[in-house]
Amino acid sequence: MTLSKDDLKRFAELPTGNICDANGKTGNMDPAIKPIDPKSKLVGPAYTVRCQPRDNLSIHKAMLDAPKGSVLVVDLGGYCGAGHFGEIMTLGCQVKGIAGLVIDGSIRDAEDIEEMGFPVFCRAFNPGGTVKETVGPTNIPIQCGGVLVKPGDIIIGDRDGVVVVPEENADEVLKRAEAIKAKEIKVKEMLRQGKSTAEIYGFEKILRPHK
């Protein structure tokens, strides 16, 4: 199913931890893939790209073809020997209305990109240049950060990292994540009233079995 803009906004209001828990504690990418700007928040359907190392022509193709609001998700197999995305490509994405980038590899011009306010999640920074020779496949199932990503899957990123929610499960995961967040609000209130986490979650029998 295709989520509405309101549904995506609801995802954006949730921490990735709640979403991951609601997603069966799965879909979380390699923790090395982090935002350039820790304050970044990224939400949108995946438009997938597979690149050859030190070649970013496929990303240019994806920028041309991806629908507005898409998150470009790039499979570089973790290669970090060059910067595959930079300031010029960032501006191109912003003009096109692309929501952000997740790349299992490295980028450059990180300071400029942060100032531009474009959400980028990557494995590393590298000032090295790339060639533009090989057009790899786009809009296909890929691996990124150790997670299968299919076109249309919902990508959510924040300071903690990136979570991938399968498109077919997105509505149910959203509802569960909102319920988890609501429960945590109640738990925090009970903690402020003096109850312990062991008491709230029923861990006392495990932690103090002979009491």
> Would you say the pTM of this structure is higher than 0.85?
yes
Q: CA nearest 5: which of 154, 110, 166? A: 154
Q: For residue 207, is pLDDT > 90?
A: no
Report pLDDT for 211.
64
Q: Where are the domains of the chain?
A: 5-174
Residue type, 211: K
- Evaluate whether 195 touches 154 at the Cβ level (below 8 Å): no
Q: For residue 80, what pLDDT is reported?
A: 98
pLDDT in tens, 90-121: 999 999 999 999 999 999 999 999 999 999 99
Q: Of 152-166, 169-183, 191-205, where does mean pLDDT reach its minimum?
A: 191-205
Quote the pLDDT of residue 205. Answer: 82
Dist CA 35 CA 157 (whole Å)? 8
Give me the mean pLDDT over the 27-47 stretch: 98
Confidence bin at 1 (pLDDT 50/70/90): low
The CATH-assigned architecture of domain 5-174 is 3-Layer(bba) Sandwich (3.50)
* Nearest residue to 110 via CA among 194, 101, 184, 50: 101
How high is the mean pLDDT of the chain? 96
